[in-house]
Amino acid sequence: MINNNQNNKEIKDITITIIFEGSALNRDEKIGGNILSIKKLEINGKTHSFISKNAIRHYLFSTLKRAYNWKEASITPQGEVLQFDITKDDILTSEELDAFGYMYTIEKASSIIRKAPVGITKAVSLFNWNGDIVFYSNHDLVNRAKNQGLSANPNPFNKEEHLSLYKVSFTIDSQRLGKDEWIIEGKVEENQDKIKIEIPSFKKEISIKNSKGKVSTKEIGKNTYKIIFKLEEQEKKRRIKDILEAIKNGLYSQSSGECNTIIPLFIVASAVKIPSPIFHPYITLEEDPKQKNYYIVKGILDCIKNNSWIGENICIIQTERVKLDCKEEKEINNKIIDWEKFLEKLGLQENTQNSNT
């Protein structure tokens, strides 16, 4: 439950970095016949697999849609390019446009562009790829076809594979999320209930106020208007909390017919002064010398000491398999808070000790 007494409290920008186990989550083009490749980078002379920002964005939005009923934005073709249709949707009607941004081109007019308030890095493997390629074939379907009296032969193919731990970071620009501005050169009319925009190849009617926010206009020049969309504060908080909970609990993802696991084994999150993935470059992973396939996270203390954008408190969630270095944990223990306290500090949730519900 969100605390109504915090409505006027400015929501801080947020960064969150996770480590998860994944396996070839983002396929690339075929190489040489029926060989399915994975996306790769060369880092310090070694090959690492990665999952693109676009793929992570897709998995995150798919999760938000399934878990919290986020609304897909409408799509329209613009020549040979598909784009979001802002004549039918905007940030008030579609959470997708609000969180992930868009670009809408208007013939003989300036494009309307919204930078994504939710920032996402690539998810890069923390271990190098050793060239694993696996042979597959559709033997089951062939056998079933033969049992039905059909003539069939196997269709063999190969896949590059990589099972690894990955690191990915997200940021939320809380000042931008829930607010949008369009600059319109043309005919804009406003009455008590609606704003009507009508220029060549672009027409839209907008209710001035609905349950999720309001829209206003401002004339900034001759036949030039600024259309301002502003989300209600409670709805803004709900959307930010949905994003954080989805990342914390794990993303719904399937690729190449496999169900994958973008489920955090380690999380570090903080309010930040600037919406930048500040923990991301600091964090490194070492294998626990006492246990094989268990790992130690290092670098968070270094980040806190050297970067003043980090907030007063940080939230760390760790598992038996991936843990913060015990020396670092001891030194920053007074700064670490749990998830519920983290949401409360952000103004997204009321103090459970003071709640009657």
Model pLDDT, residue 249? 97
Model pLDDT, residue 336? 97
Does residue 10 have a pLDDT over 70? yes
Q: Which residues contact 79 (CB under 8 A, 6 or more apart)?
A: none
CA atoms within 13 A on the CB side of 337: 16
What's 73's DSSP letter? Answer: P
For 208, 238, 276, 352, the CA distances from 169, given in Å and listed in that order, are 36, 21, 9, 28
pLDDT tens-place string over residues 137-149 = 777 777 887 788 8
299: left (phi over 0), alpha (psi -120 to 50) or beta: left
Cβ atoms 242, 98 nearer than 8 A? no
φ, ψ at 104 (rounded to 5°): -125, 120
Find the mean pLDDT for residues 203-211: 88
Number of neighbours of residue 175 by Cβ within 10 angstroms? 13
Quick one: pLDDT band at residue 159, thresholds 50, 70, 90? confident
pTM, full prediction: 0.90
pLDDT tens-place string over residues 275-288 = 999 999 999 999 99
pLDDT tens-place string over residues 172-203 = 999 999 999 999 988 999 888 899 998 888 89
Size of the chain, expressed as the number of residues it contains: 357
Q: Enter the tokens of residue 293.
A: 């396939």
Question: Whose CA is closest to 53, among 117, 119, 121, 152?
Answer: 121
Does residue 155 have a pLDDT over 80? no
pLDDT tens-place string over residues 26-84 = 665 555 667 778 888 999 999 999 999 999 999 999 999 999 999 999 999 887 889 99
The secondary element (H helix, E strand) that includes residue 326 is helix 326-332
